Structure 1
């Protein structure tokens, strides 16, 4: 009987938020910057599945005040989103409704257990347009400067004019799509997902999440610089356009493997630098044996 109630509640929620789900799916499919959003619901389902044994042991103690707080906040977000046609706020309302439903049906303990999974749903939401434009412009300019310096470091006469890199007669335009914001969003979601799967200290997890920013910048600069170098080396090749198109796409595909390597190196370095709490506890509590010199027994007089 309870399963039927849950199914009806899910159906009502899907009906109420169907326009939001449709707009989010369209964003994931047609905006490369948020293509990772297609995988977010599946990863969230996996996170909840990993906690299935803990969830079975939690008794249902509905929390009406907490549920009312989440649902009333969601209602305010939904109303504001309807007035200003603001998709991120509408998506946030959906997450708040899910949190409110968990509080209403199962209670605080259940919500505490599934909170990381529900929080990860934020990566499925698009950024506000003004924030997206601001980040994209700054990252675009920073990627242009860093790529120019890297090309100069390897011996190329590169200079930048705005967001265009000049190498002799070659002009390499760093368009908004090359700003690295897409990789930043993907790497931030990826790094956060790793922290939810590994058993490490909060210090390690925090450093790992924050490192998504420099890693996204590094791999984007490497991609731009490699593409610029290919333009220089293949300037007189007969099949220049086809080769450059393939190299441009190939460098884009290689961003994720390179980022994975950098994340792996970072985890290894953090393992050397940071002592996990349980290891530190074992080291501190380890008994120290001291070899005492043997004292010869005294002979009786």
Structure 2
């Protein structure tokens, strides 16, 4: 209760940003998923909990670090540091209360809370500009490949009788934020080897860029062959809603491919091609 009372102002500040900034509207879901992770890993609590001095000292150090973060955030007017300090503070509290066994149980849920913190403005700016440029160039190439006359000038794609402005809000940063959270969440849930989880996480930026390029390309096709009203509806509404399910589908496809290309043998993991696996099943292989 003391922890909740101490951070109620920070939580309200975050809630306001989740409500007013579409890029971070997923923030409401993040704490709920963290609670789900705690429930999913509840079997770890059945292990014998031994509180050691090392766990207590580590927990105190994390709480002290959280206090320093809050002090810097308040006196240096860096607003995001105060809510971010909740993460080490929670981890420290778990270690003090339950020792290393509670730390092992809670660390994925606590670490996942980082996705509820909005990115600092300067980081958003650094990421948005290259994402805009990549989206513009690749989408222009995609439209040209489809036989549609398209020229990129800056972050604007000029078509035959229309133009598409890839502004900061359409850079794909929002999708990248959400998709990183989804891939990390999947890595906690999926019972797969660590290297497969790492591949899924590292592929998040690529899939995010691909889905945003698909969105811009579909809009260009609608501009060229249908109407401006339909294109605007696709760009701002329908395509934005569909891109996340498509991105999740690509993630599922990638996970399936990784699982299909590798077999678990008795002596370890063996890399086998799909054709070789079929022969093994039919008994043709020796």
TM-score (ref. length: structure 1): 0.84
Cα RMSD over matched residues? 1.7
1:54 is displaced (CA, Å) by 1.8
- Within the candidate set 209, 214, 228, 1:217 is matched to 209
- Within the candidate set 116, 132, 139, 1:124 is matched to 116
Residue 17 of structure 1 corresponds to 7
1:88 is displaced (CA, Å) by 2.9
Residue 280 of structure 2 corresponds to none
**Residue 136 of structure 1 pairs with residue 123 of structure 2:** no
**Residue 269 of structure 1 pairs with residue 261 of structure 2:** no
**Residue 46 of structure 1 pairs with residue 33 of structure 2:** no
Q: Is the 8 A contact 2:161 2:224 kept in 1?
A: no
**Residue 146 of structure 1 pairs with residue 146 of structure 2:** no
- Within the candidate set 12, 33, 45, 1:55 is matched to 45
1:166 is displaced (CA, Å) by 0.2
TM-score (ref. length: structure 2): 0.89
Q: Is the 8 A contact 2:219 2:232 kept in 1?
A: no
Q: Is the 8 A contact 2:220 2:231 kept in 1?
A: no
1:280 is displaced (CA, Å) by 4.9
The answer to which of 246-255 and 127-136 deviates more is 246-255
Q: Distance in 2 between matches of 1:161 and 1:192?
A: 36
1:116 is displaced (CA, Å) by 1.0
Change (3 A) 1:180 1:279: farther
Q: Secondary structure at the match of 1:168?
A: coil
1:148-183 CA-to-partner distances (Å, cap 9, x unmatched) read: 000000001100110100012311111111100000
Residue 233 of structure 2 corresponds to 246
Size of the aligned set, in residue pairs, is 267
Q: Distance in 1 between matches of 2:18 and 2:216?
A: 25
Q: Secondary structure at the match of 2:157?
A: strand
Residue 278 of structure 2 corresponds to none
Residue 255 of structure 1 corresponds to 243
Show structure 2 runs of 5+ residues with no match: 271-286
Residue 17 of structure 2 corresponds to 27
